[in-house]
Structure 1
Amino acid sequence: MNDPIERNDPYETTETHVERLLGRALNSFDLPDALVERLQSALAHASALHASHHSAVLHRVTYRHTYLLADGSSVTLWELVHHVGADGEDHHELYVDEAEVRVAAAHLSEALGFPEVVAVADPLDDDLDADLELLSALLVRPPAPAPRTYVPDESADHARRVLRRAENADRPGEAVAARLRGAFAHHIQQVFGRQCGVAGGRDAGFSLYEHAFLLLDGSEMSVWEVEHTATPDGRHMCEVYEDERAARTAMESRARVR
């Protein structure tokens, strides 16, 4: 049986993942409307193989899909994927709790005339709650920091160097650079830092810094710098964004669940 997780695009957005999951389920119309509406606000997701059974006549796999929502809560769906015989056709069903998917899986075995066997749990499932905790930390804004203390120390040059080392294609453009040439004081604060697993089974470091500038006209302006080692060769990389939300979304897209 093909593994739905394995054939996914590793950079698939959460919105696309939800649409694909609901679209292929034979019983998606049985899901509560309120649940489907909540899933429209999903910001991040993690999927894991939960259990599997394979025999000459039945191939059956259960997946656990957990979604982090915009309000900070999470929703879990249980997907049963199965086919009978050698036709190779997958059938997908969705359930809102583990008890329901276990009953559905048992019915498949009973219908074929042999008793239910104990499913083999996958160790990835044990890490799923920790993965969602990580995604929550990446996406949820931390408590308000202490008041800034601006330091007048070649701030315009500091801004120029921050923008120059940014490697992301969507880094701030000339309009931002022009405003920051009027900076006369600045404040640097780290607002996030953590090691986490990324694609390929290795760890990578993520740090998020706010570079706040006080401009000559009395206004304030910040740019957000992401430093990480989630690169193919593990090298250090800097990215800069105009707002915190964009920076955190960029980190989330790189911190793929193991």
Structure 2
Amino acid sequence: MNDPQDPHDPYETTETHLERLLGRALNSFDLPDSTVERLGTALAHSSALHSSHHSASLHRTTYRHTYLLADGSALSLWELTHNTGRDGSDQHELYAEESEARLAASRLPAGPLPGWTAERSDGTTLDSDDDDDMVLLSALLARPIPAQPRMYVPDNSADHARRVLRRAENVDRPGERTARRLRLAFAHHITQAFGRQCAVEGGRDAGFTLYEHQFLLLDGSEVSLWEIEHTATPDGRHMCEVYEDERSARAAMENRSRVR
């Protein structure tokens, strides 16, 4: 069965289908190596619409692509398609688990809520209609994260940590010492600490999201990685940065918001 998103040849081979799917996904490099290796043995495939959401500003759709492998087993990929790219162009993301696709969908920016306000340290109140987006962003970055209960989930957490570190592009990302510790992770919890769409220098819009990836290690200790996802790059492309502490991550976001 061909991909329901695109009117391609219904007799398209599974190999060609996979090449298209992996080629258009922004995060195909983030798929587990074991998953990509298994997909290399796919004999047939079927694609189906799983869920769809449409609003005035956001369109997102999730597809399930299922593959029959040479060993007789089945493997599914979850594709999230949304219109948050530059000029409203479609973006594609791939996930090995439905839960990961749902989490990614929940991260998509929906724009500022009406009446949204933030208070600066000097007591001045800013609202979502304030023309000085840079001032508003700085005020938001300084706000503490509300305490939330940690609900650790054992879900191949060491591999999750490896993938978070692998996609980091900043030169001051956590080093090998942290990577070695995280090989002992057996459960993790992800918290969205910050999310905002605003204007950066040059007058264009950019999105900023900050996540804390909290890991529980086999020795009972805890380690956090702070991941920034943003589009405050010179060409507007999506970029991920990872830091070992919240202060460094927030300082990096404030610095990136002034990109030229």
| TM-score using structure 2 length | 0.49
Higher relative contact order (CA 8 A, sep 6+): 1
| TM-score using structure 1 length | 0.50
Largest Rg, 1 or 2 = 1
